[in-house]
Amino acid sequence: MDIPYTVHARPDTGLYNAKVGIWLFLASEVMLFGGLFSSYIFLRVGADYPWPVHELNVTLGCINTVVLIASSVSVVWAWAALKMRQFGLYKGLMLFTVLCAVTFMVNKTFEYKAKFEHYAVKLTDGTILTGHLPHGYQIKFGEVNQLAMSIPLKTAAVGADPINYVLNHLDAGATPRFKTEDGKEITLDAATFAELKSAAIEKAKVAKQNTAGLKLTAVSPLSFTVGESDVFAYDASTMTFRDGTVAYGKLADDKMTIEVDGVDTRGVAVKEKSLAFDHRYLGEAWQKAFVANRDHLTVEFDKNYPTRDKTKSATFQKEAYFLHLESTTPPAAEGHGNGHGAEAHAPAAHGDGHGGHHPTVVLEKKDITFFSNFTPKLNTYYAIYFTLTGLHGLHVVAGALVLAYFLFFNGKMMREDPEHLANRVEVGGLFWHFVDLVWIFLFPLLYLL
Amino acid sequence: MSDHVDPAELQKHVKKYIFIGLLLIFFTAVTVALSYVELPTHSLNIIVGMIVATFKAALVALIFMHLNHERPLIYKVLAFTAVFCFVLFVLFVMANSDPLVDHGFEKPLQSIEQATP
């Protein structure tokens, strides 16, 4: 059975059916993105932090805009070529469109990756340090002589599982030799743990307890290196792993090493007294660089805009109070280029686009209130950024798949019923133009304004 | 679009599509450049940026998506969407107004001002 009105228009609507279909779909898509743009406005108006402007990679965003515009031209041109029966030109233009979509997604991947690897650390006084964590954030816990586990007899969310939650954080080279409560010496592995566990459960059942306890004493002291998300809690002498196992030992190091590429003091009451310029951290030299940069920009601003209020200029606030660090040591007092320090650290390769070296700072745990990479967890801007661009990216992929299908699998239709294929391309193209149209709003809203 | 299109006419359309594409790229450059200009308030930057973006979007919708000459049915479908979107953006205005303050039932701001000498 043939689907009616795929080629010629239905008399009452004056349209072939697929076109009515795609417009109904696009109408619902407009409402979907409209809802998200509306939430963007709400989040931006309600933000309790300076909304990021020019914080994303504008060059990549610009390239992607041009790529999408070019593909929009090529898809509508491909449709016209098919109408004129220029099959070679049609195929070339469709291929170009699909390649544009691939380019767009590759660029997007680079952008996302840079954000995943970049961190923001909020200090107790409101300063935000941005930079890279070369080893992630790790807690070192040493001199561990005892592990205490509890095994619930009834179903529970957490039950001791030291093989998967504790031993994999053991520092390299150590063997997990332990003494059990009855003095037997064992190497802890899956088999011995299962044995110990069933014995402990038997004992607890006899004693009519709800949980079985298990204590292992280390034969020689052990040390662990654990990511921040792998522990529930820790203090100077105990560390609770995610399976509830408690290790008794000594906290060796819970400092965060960060290669600082930015100091945002906009949330600090007295900007130049920011904790970042403490002698333990960036120190006086960077503080001087910060003050010099601020004073220079203040003079510039007063000269250029004598009637305007500095506190109301988001740009001034950002440039004067958000210092970008582009060398390991501060640039010379007068110049504001990036004079590279003599004692440059080993270059750290990070795909952030900034390049260069950054000073390394070791932060104490007590000074940190919050840290995150540049993902939805960080703030509402990144939440809406990833939601909007993620959904838009899915549309790019879907559109590219449809257009690629027309190109690679509809060869027979092209030769035998080109008018039908032209209608398909027109419908696919309408969707593609819509994807471009959404990006036309996304690019300025997220990258520029 | 009607069923039968004259090839010479289509050839003219293609030229128009390329021209519009170049125009869109030009306006992208304008948007980027304008975003670095310090207007009296940042809201003005946003308004100007959105006007340019709306103009670009209109070009795409009217020329590439052929909305400048479509059948009435499509405009009827889109009318519903337009109303819905209008309400979505008016929501924000409504959320920004406080019925108690706006209708004079309470005057919290003034009482704060009186309290602080």
Q: pLDDT tens digits for B31-52?
A: 999 999 988 888 899 999 999 9
Residue A156 is predicted with a pLDDT of 77
Percent of chain B with pLDDT over 90: 56
Q: How high is the pLDDT of residue A350?
A: 40
Are B7 and A84 an interchain contact pair (Cβ–Cβ within 8 Å)? yes
CA geometry: angle B78, B82, B86, nearest 5 deg = 170
CA atoms in the 13 A half-sphere facing the CB of A158:
13
Q: Are residues B63 and B89 in the same domain?
A: no
Q: Do residue A80 and residue B14 have CB atoms under 8 angstroms apart?
A: yes
Position A7 in a domain: no
Last residue in a domain, options A224, A255, A286:
A255
Total domains, chain B: 2
| B85/B37 same-domain check | no
Scan for tokens 């909020």, then name that residue: A122
pLDDT digits (tens, 9 = 90+) for A133-148: 988 888 999 899 999 9
For residue A222, how far is the Cα from the chain centroid? 34
Pair (A150, A242) in one structural domain: yes
Does pLDDT of B10 surpass 60?
yes
Residues A146 and A98 in one domain: no
Alpha-carbon distance of A188 to A162, in angstroms, equals 9
Per-position DSSP letters for A205-231, written without gaps between them: HHTT-SEEEEEEEEEEEEEEEEEGGGE
Contacts of B28 in chain A (CB under 8 A): 62, 65-66, 69, 443
For residue A13, tell me if it sits in a domain: no
pLDDT of residue A175: 83
Whether A64 is in a domain gets the answer: yes
In a domain, A226, yes or no: yes
Residue that wins the pLDDT comparison between A242 and A135: A242
Any idea what DSSP says for residue B41? S
pLDDT of residue A107: 97
- Residue B85 shares a structural domain with residue B29: no
Beta bridge partners of A373: A119
- Whether residue A4 is contained in a domain is answered as no
Tell me the pLDDT of chain A averaged across its residues.
89
Residues A163 and A217 in one domain: yes
Q: What is the pLDDT of residues B57-81, one digit of tens each?
A: 999 999 999 999 889 999 999 999 9
Q: What is the tally of structural domains in chain A?
A: 3
The CATH number of whichever domain residue A398 belongs to comes to 1.20.120.80
Facing A13 at nearest CB: one of B11, B36, B73: B73
Instruction: Give the HSE-up count for residue B20: Cα atoms under 13 Å, Cβ half-sphere.
Output: 26
Q: What pLDDT, on a 0 to 100 scale, did the predictor assign at position B114?
A: 56
Contact between A440 and B57 using a beta-carbon 8 Å cutoff: yes
Q: Which residue has the tokens 């999408």?
A: A68
Using a 10 angstrom Cβ sphere, with 0-12 exposed, 13-18 middle and 19 or more buried, the burial of residue A318 is middle
Q: Does residue B117 sit in the same domain as residue B80?
A: yes
Whether residue B38 is found in the same domain as residue B66: yes
Q: Which residues of chain B from 15 to 74 reach within 8 Å of chain A, CB to CB?
A: 17-18, 20-21, 24-25, 28, 31-32, 35-36, 38, 40-42, 45-46, 49-50, 52-53, 56-57, 60-61, 64-65, 71-74
Distance from CA of A361 to the nearest CA of B (A): 32
Lowest mean pLDDT among A170-174, B18-22, B106-110: B106-110
Q: Give contacts of B 84-113 with A, CB under 8 A.
A: 84-85, 88-89, 91-92, 95-96
- Mean pLDDT in chain B? 84
- Orientation of helix A314-321 relative to helix A283-304, angle to 10°: 150
pLDDT over 50 (residue A238): yes
Q: At which residue do the structure tokens 């260069």 appear?
A: A356
**A191: enclosing H helix or E strand:** helix A190-206
Q: What is the pLDDT of residue B7?
A: 82
**Residue A348 three-state SS:** coil
Task: Tell me which chain A residues have a C-beta less than 8 angstroms from the C-beta of B35.
Answer: 53-54, 444, 448-449
Residues B55 and B82 in one domain: no
Q: How large a percentage of chain A has pLDDT more than 70?
A: 94
- Whether A10 is in a domain gets the answer no
**H or E stretch at B90:** helix B72-96
How much is the pLDDT for B109? 56
**What are the phi and psi torsion angles at A159 (to 5°)?**
-135, 150
Which of A43-52, A179-188, A325-334, A348-357 has the least mean pLDDT?
A: A348-357
Q: Which domain holds residue A230?
A: 138-255
pLDDT at B116: 52
Q: How confident is the model at residue A342 (pLDDT cuts 50, 70, 90)?
A: very low
Q: Which of B3, B24, B49 sits opposite A449 (nearest CB)?
A: B49
Which of A372, A402, A422 is the last residue in one of the domains?
A372
Rounded to whole angstroms, the Cα distance separating A347 from A344 reads 8
CB contact under 8 A, A23 and B78: yes
State yes or no: ipTM above 0.90: no
In which band, very low, low, confident or very high, does the pLDDT at B113 lie, cut at 50, 70 and 90? low
pLDDT in tens, A387-429: 999 999 999 999 999 999 999 999 899 999 999 999 999 999 9
DSSP state for residue A272 in the 8-state scheme: G
The confidence score (pLDDT) of residue A158 equals 78
Q: Which residues contact A161 (CB under 8 A, 6 or more apart)?
A: A243, A245
Q: Measure the N-to-C terminal CA separation of chain B; round to a whole number of Å.
A: 71
In a domain, A8, yes or no: no
Taking an 8 Å cut-off on Cβ atoms, the answer to whether B25 and A66 are in contact is yes
Distance (Å) of CA A63 to CA A43, A59, A431, B73: 27, 6, 21, 37
Which residues lie closer than 8 Å to A354 by C-beta, 6 or more apart? A261, A326
The pLDDT of A239-254, averaged and rounded, is: 91
Distance from CA of B31 to the nearest CA of A (A): 7
* Residues B28 and B49 both lie in one domain: yes
Phi-psi sector, B29: left (phi>0), alpha (psi -120 to 50), beta: alpha
Q: Which of A325, A344, A372 is the last residue of a domain?
A: A372
The answer to whether the beta carbons of residues A274 and A294 sit under 8 Å apart is no
Q: Return the residue in B2, B9, B28, B86 with the most chain A beta carbons within 10 A, the one to mutate for interface testing.
A: B28
Mean pLDDT over A104-130 rounds to 95
A158 and A248 fall within a common domain = yes
Residues B58 and B108 in one domain: no
The tokens of B49 are what? 């940026």
Residue B33: give the domain boundaries: 1-70
Beta-carbon contacts of A57 under 8 Å, excluding residues fewer than 6 positions away, are: A111, A114, A353, A447
Same-domain status, A268 and A230:
no
| DSSP, res A269 | S
Q: Give CA–CA dist A441/B85, Å, rounded.
A: 15
Q: Scanning the structure block, which residue is given the tokens 């390769």?
A: A349
pLDDT at B96 over 70: no
Q: What is the mean pLDDT of residues A357-378?
A: 91
Report the 10 Å Cβ neighbour count for A100.
25
